[in-house]
Amino acid sequence: MRILMVDWENLTRGLGAWGVSWSPQRQLQTLVETLEARIGAIDSVELHCPGHVETKADRRILQRPGEGRRVIFELCAPGKNMADIQIAVKASEAFHAGHAVAIVSDDRDLGYVVRYHALKGRASTLVHLEAKPPTTVKGLAGCSIPLPPAFRPKTKKRKLRSWDLAALSLYALGSPSSPLGTATGLIEAPSTRWWEDQARGEFGRIAATIPADLEQADSVVARLWRLRWGGGLDRAEAERVAATRIAGGVDPGEVIDALLAARLLRVAAGDRCEVAPSWRDGLVVPMRRVVLFLALSDERRATATEIQNLLRRSVARIHVNGIDEDEAAHIGAVHLAAVADLQQYVLHALKTRIKAIADQPQQRGGSVVTLTDRRHPFVQQSIRVATEVVRVADRPVIHHVLARRLGEFGVVDPDRWVRCLLDARVLTRHGDRYSATPGASERLSSQSG
């Protein structure tokens, strides 16, 4: 039995530095297929990394059953060398059980682990990212191979564009991890210190203001996912969608490039684009959904469970006919994981970035989320637009009337806003008509300032 142990964070960072914007699933599939051609059949794969490296949804996808081999996602504590220590222990256990082990990492310490077991006559292989193994580890010549050339596409860095700032700031708005992974391999920075300066908080500062181009990029992401319900689409198709969501005079290709650099969009099998599953509903409109839900709630507060249920009901779900129970269960598990990721992103954005909510733990478990800053421009704009829509819907109106009114406020995607207002209980639907929920006008008026 041969086990492949991957320092997943090390591999992902290395590929990002080369400008590889593949989906995690394609990354794993390519790794296994190319290595099997070199070292033989791989029976089991272990991906070792801290939890922040991959979203819950992507972890579910990576561990999808029925791929012909077992894939285990081994979470480790964050911090330097924690994955290395875990791999070293697991490798020792595997060797003593008589298994062959291949380790994918550029880490020097794991190089010593491989060499130690190779000297003991055990089937041990180090797969290093660079052309040569770690230079400080001697004696690896017979038990190490470089990462296959398929992982090093010829990528020429391009200049930084304004849409790169919008896409990277959108990522930083929701995710506590750095948005710079793939961008550093695709974009030529204005100066040697530029990336470092941005990582210190510039993207977060831009995100907190939620500029118009950030919200437009968010609309593109959500629309791309709904176009194929999470399935891949070709580059030309993605650019056509971007052109319908961005104001005139912008090259839609630059928007797609920016989304790929920020890993909101990634390259799946066959070079088709796909939206990261946890971003299937975007981020800005779900944030507005939570803000308006809290604004209409008693004392402007709700439990974390209520927020989770609100997002679960609103996030797009895949409905596919003619699939077996295992496939249906997998799709359902990915959906729930994506909802959990989205909830984390929304609360992080509202609490840490724009500082409009507070999250208070409760003695009996769980927490209560409270809208604390009604004067933040994002909160005020959400309430103002909702108030105007309530006035229009004082009497039942059709969707077209609502969409036109929202368009007058500069809303890029009125359909998403209508769904948002329904989920937040600002509007109520009656067949093909919409009306203001009783009491919504008074509650919204009390929140404006």
237/121 Cα distance (integer angstroms): 53
Residue tagged 């080369």 (tokens) = 18
Domain assignment present for residue 384? The answer is yes
Q: Which tokens is 374 given?
A: 């009604």
Q: For residue 205, what pLDDT is reported?
A: 81
Note the pLDDT tens digit of each residue in 212-221.
889 999 999 9
Residue 437: DSSP 8-state = P
Q: Write down the pLDDT at residue 351.
A: 94
Half-sphere exposure for 19 (CA within 13 Å, toward CB): 13
Are residues 256 and 354 both part of a single domain? no
Q: What sign does the dihedral 243-248-250-255 (CA atoms) show?
A: negative
Q: Which of 171-175, 179-183, 198-202, 301-305 has the lowest mean pLDDT?
A: 198-202
Q: Is the pLDDT of residue 74 over 80?
A: yes
Instruction: Report d(CA 310, CA 297) in Å as an integer.
Output: 13
Q: How far apart are CA 152 and CA 248, in angstroms?
A: 36
Q: What is the DSSP letter of 264?
A: S
**Whether 274 and 286 share a structural domain:** no
Helix (H) or strand (E) holding 67: none
Q: Provide the pLDDT for residue 298.
A: 87
Q: How far apart are the C-alpha atoms of 247 and 242, rounded to whole Å?
A: 10
* pLDDT score at 300: 92
| Mean pLDDT lowest among 184-198, 205-219, 346-360, 395-409 | 184-198
Q: Are residues 193 and 230 in the same domain?
A: yes
Q: Is the pLDDT of residue 380 over 90?
A: yes
As a whole number, mean pLDDT of residues 233-237 equals: 92
Are both 232 and 286 inside the same structural domain? no
> What CATH number is given to the structural domain containing 26?
3.40.50.1010
Token pair 């055990």 is at which residue?
Answer: 122
Domain end residue (candidates: 116, 151, 186): 151
The answer on 247 and 142 residing in a single domain is no
| Mean per-residue pLDDT, 179-199 | 80
Q: For the whole model, what pTM was predicted?
A: 0.91
Confidence grade of residue 223 (pLDDT, cut at 50, 70, 90): very high
pLDDT at 234: 92
Could you tell me if residue 322 is inside a domain? no
- Give the mean model confidence (pLDDT) for residues 417-446: 92
Evaluate whether residue 235 is within a structural domain: yes
Tell whether 267 and 286 lie within a shared domain: no
Helix (H, G, I), strand (E, B) or coil at 400: helix
Does residue 180 share a domain with residue 167? yes
Q: Are residues 39 and 63 in the same domain?
A: yes
Angle, helices 162-174 vs 212-228, to 10°: value is 80
- 232 and 141 in one domain? no
Q: Contact at 8 Å (CB) between 38 and 148?
A: yes
Q: Where are the alpha helices (DSSP H) in 297-398?
A: 304-314, 325-348, 377-392
- Whether 169 maps to a domain, the answer reads yes
Contact between 238 and 428 under an 8 Å Cβ cutoff? The reply is no
pLDDT tier for residue 81 given thresholds of 50, 70 and 90: confident
DSSP letters, 97-119, are TT-EEEEE---HHHHHHHHHHHH
| Cα 17 to Cα 152: distance, rounded to the nearest angstrom | 10
Q: Are residues 335 and 230 in the same domain?
A: no
214 lies in some domain = yes
Nearest alpha carbon to residue 421 among 395, 444, 442: 444
Query: Integer distance in angstroms from the first to the last C-alpha of the chain?
Result: 67
CA dihedral 342, 344, 350, 353 (to 10 degrees): -110
pLDDT digits (tens, 9 = 90+) for 391-409: 999 999 999 999 998 888 8
**Assigned domain for 269 exists:** yes
Residues 6 or more apart from 193 whose CB is under 8 A from it?
Answer: none
Overall average pLDDT of the 13-23 stretch: 90
Give the pLDDT of residue 154. Answer: 77
- Give the sheet arrangement for strand 397-398, strand by strand: 397-398, 433-436, 427-430
Task: Identify the band that residue 199 occupies on the pLDDT scale cut at 50, 70 and 90.
Answer: low
* pLDDT higher than threshold 90 for residue 230: no
Amino acid found at 221: V
The whole-number average pLDDT for the span 313-330 is 78
Kindly state whether residues 430 and 446 are assigned to the same domain. Answer: yes
For residue 68, what pLDDT band results from cuts at 50, 70 and 90?
low
In a domain, 419, yes or no: yes
Residues 54, 344: Cα–Cα separation, whole Å:
13
Alpha carbon 314 to chain centroid, angstroms: 18
**Residue 189: pLDDT band by 50, 70, 90 thresholds?**
confident
d(CA 161, CA 178): 19
pLDDT of residue 378: 93
**Parent domain of 302:** 282-317+327-449
Q: Residue 344 has what pLDDT?
A: 93
The arithmetic mean of pLDDT across residues 413-438, rounded, is 93
Q: How confident is the model at residue 448 (pLDDT cuts 50, 70, 90)?
A: low
Q: Which among 151, 170, 193 is the end of a domain? A: 151
In a domain, 195, yes or no: yes
Say if residue 17 is in the same domain as residue 134.
Answer: yes
Q: What total of structural domains would you count in the chain?
A: 3
Q: Which band of pLDDT confidence, cut at 50, 70 and 90, is reported for residue 363?
A: confident
